[in-house]
Amino acid sequence: MRMSRWARYLVAPLLLLITSCGSQDAPTGRWEGFIDSPTWIIVVRLEVESGNNIRASALSANVDGMTLPNKFAAARQLKTAIREQWPNAVRGRIDFHGNTLTRTDHVAPLFVFDEQKRTMTFYFYAGGKLAEKVVCLPVERFAS
């Protein structure tokens, strides 16, 4: 079977489109983040291994209306809790497209990678809506 000249021009872009639809390899490494907003305190740890395998944990507390001393106490509790529970943190697989990590076969971003800064931004959802974005910095070892 012989392809017309026009068909050849259409096949190459189509093959490129099909091959680009698959998940890419996410950057490997460790990231850690913390945010203290007027409404939320959030601590995050992420470890990405080869093959798009991750271990991640995000702990949060709604601090809306809390006094400053109580917010400090909540932040200390979350930082302690994430260290203690990290060995049992959830492991799973993700899809990585462009710069976005999602749960396998899902569309909502979990993390967005900034290649220039080597940061991962965690997307925190509350009540089904995006509530906060937590910039996570690369680390060799997690804080102890």
Q: Where are the domains positioned within the chain?
A: 23-138
Question: Alpha carbon 106 to chain centroid distance?
Answer: 13
pLDDT-above-90 percentage for the chain: 76
Tell me the per-residue pLDDT of 29-62, one tens digit each, with 9 for 90 and over.
999 999 999 999 999 999 999 999 999 999 999 9
Tokens linked to 69: 């001393």
61-98 pLDDT, tens digit each: 999 999 999 999 999 999 999 999 999 998 999 999 99
Give dist(CA 100, CA 29) in Å, integer: 15
> In terms of CATH architecture, what is 23-138?
Beta Barrel (2.40)
Instruction: Report pLDDT for 11.
Output: 35
C-alpha to C-alpha distance for 94 and 102, rounded to whole angstroms: 6
Q: Where are the beta strands (DSSP E) in the chain?
A: 29-36, 40-49, 53-62, 90-97, 100-103, 109-114, 119-126, 129-138
pLDDT score at 144: 79
